[in-house]
Amino acid sequence: MITGDSGFLKEKLKECGYKFTGQRSAILEALIQCTGQHVSTEELFNMVKVKHPEIGLATVYRTMILLDKLGLVHKLDFDDGFSRYELVKPNEDHRHHHLICSSCGSVSEVEEDLLDSLEEQILKKNGFLVKDHRVQFYGLCRNCRG
Amino acid sequence: MITGDSGFLKEKLKECGYKFTGQRSAILEALIQCTGQHVSTEELFNMVKVKHPEIGLATVYRTMILLDKLGLVHKLDFDDGFSRYELVKPNEDHRHHHLICSSCGSVSEVEEDLLDSLEEQILKKNGFLVKDHRVQFYGLCRNCRG
DNA sequence: ATCCGTGCAAAGTATTTGCAACCTA
DNA sequence: TAGGTTGCAAATACTTTGCACGGAT
């Protein structure tokens, strides 16, 4: 079954000279299932294995590197020893920020950017032209603040 | 030779119930030598080895974990495969931001914070109390903009 | 004297790579 | 058919750990 999203993947792959395979499609489906989460490569591997027991871990690693290169996912690092990934949302023009709770470890997202004035100032003072950013806030989430 | 900084280290260690050793002192001296840089554990190991050829790599790894726990260094991650570290500056009340050039790979720093209003908004909208942050900007440095 | 800290080597763990078989285009 | 892709296993590479010895308090 080819979903709309698989269609998008197929186009993107062709456009960049790559082949559309069952494995790549299955991995994208698993990613869609985890929307809003931040899955590790091994977690993805285990999800995909349910329907496709023959898939190899190396394929998932290779695919994530490819999807990152194609701009379909963002690689995340929460310093827990694994590479984690999240799907890039359709109209996302910049990386959103992550709120990491130091108490319970939950990770949530902030849609607001609000870095424009800071990035402008960086251009003026440092001569550095910002094209992207990675922002993580550490602290206490609503539940853990009590 | 015990420098003023080693004195500071000695106090901090004692205060937390750890011992002041030649290795720890030597590693701190190497860190001070690289102020403004972002050294990997192996780089530090190689620097220290010049004066202290007997030091073991594991000691450097263990010491960096300790210094991080004591709040004397910040662990950085530039996704290049190594843990990197920088000394925490004396009056630093928050992590400074890093500017990473996508062209030449250089990493420089921004002292301005300018996240207060964003962090305030995160508290109001998300109920998340920010205590620290990690901010990396990707783009083109002055030289690479040409 | 006590017991933390160290060096060495071995183990651990996430990730990458070589290669023959396979499958997409 | 041609060449990219995959699965498997072996290889990497950074980091951690076990243990006996050494050194700080």
Q: How far is the CA of A130 from the C1' of D13 (A)?
A: 32
How much is the mean pLDDT over chain A?
94
**Does B34 appear as a known binding residue?**
no
Q: Is residue A2 very low, low, confident or very high in pLDDT (cuts 50, 70, 90)?
A: very low
Per-residue confidence (pLDDT) for residue A20, from 0 to 100: 97
Q: What is the pLDDT along chain B (146 residues), one digit of tens a residue?
A: 334 467 889 999 999 999 999 999 999 999 999 999 999 999 999 999 999 999 999 999 999 999 999 999 999 999 999 999 999 998 888 899 999 999 999 999 998 888 999 999 999 999 999 999 999 999 999 999 98
Q: What is the DSSP letter of A61?
A: H
Residues of A in contact with B112 (CB under 8 A): 118, 121, 125
d(CA A111, CA A96): 6
Question: Which residue segments constitute the domains of chain A, with CATH numbers given?
Answer: 4-87 (1.10.10.10), 97-145 (3.30.1490.190)
Task: Please check the confidence at residue A131 and state whether its pLDDT lies above 50.
Answer: yes
* Facing residue for A112 by CB, picked from B101, B121, B139: B121
A60-92 pLDDT per residue, tens? 999 999 999 999 999 999 999 999 999 999 888
| Number of residues in chain A | 146
The pLDDT of A106-118, averaged and rounded, is: 92
Beta-strand (E) ranges in A57-143? 73-76, 84-87, 97-101, 107-110, 129-140
Under DSSP, is residue B4 helix (H, G, I), strand (E, B) or coil? helix
| Cβ atoms of residues A105 and B100 within 8 Å | no
Under DSSP, is residue A88 helix (H, G, I), strand (E, B) or coil? coil
d(CA B20, CA B9): 8
Task: Please check the confidence at residue A3 and state whether its pLDDT lies above 90.
Answer: no
| Cβ atoms of residues B29 and B3 within 8 Å | yes
Asked if A25 CB < 7 A from strand D, the reply is no
Q: Is residue A43 very low, low, confident or very high in pLDDT (cuts 50, 70, 90)?
A: very high
d(CA B21, CA B16): 14
Closest Cα partner for B15 from B71, B76, B87? Answer: B71
| Cβ atoms of residues B86 and B71 within 8 Å | no
Q: How far is the CA of B140 from the C1' of D3 (A)?
A: 37
Under DSSP, is residue A94 helix (H, G, I), strand (E, B) or coil? coil
Interchain CB distance below 8 Å, B117 and A119 = no
Per-residue confidence (pLDDT) for residue A113, from 0 to 100: 87
Judged on CB neighbours under 10 Å (0-12, 13-18, 19+), A105 is exposed
Per-residue confidence (pLDDT) for residue A1, from 0 to 100: 36
Per-residue confidence (pLDDT) for residue A10, from 0 to 100: 95
Place of tokens 């300018």: B114
| Cβ atoms of residues B106 and B80 within 8 Å | no
Determine if the pTM surpasses 0.85: yes
**Does B133 appear as a known binding residue?**
yes
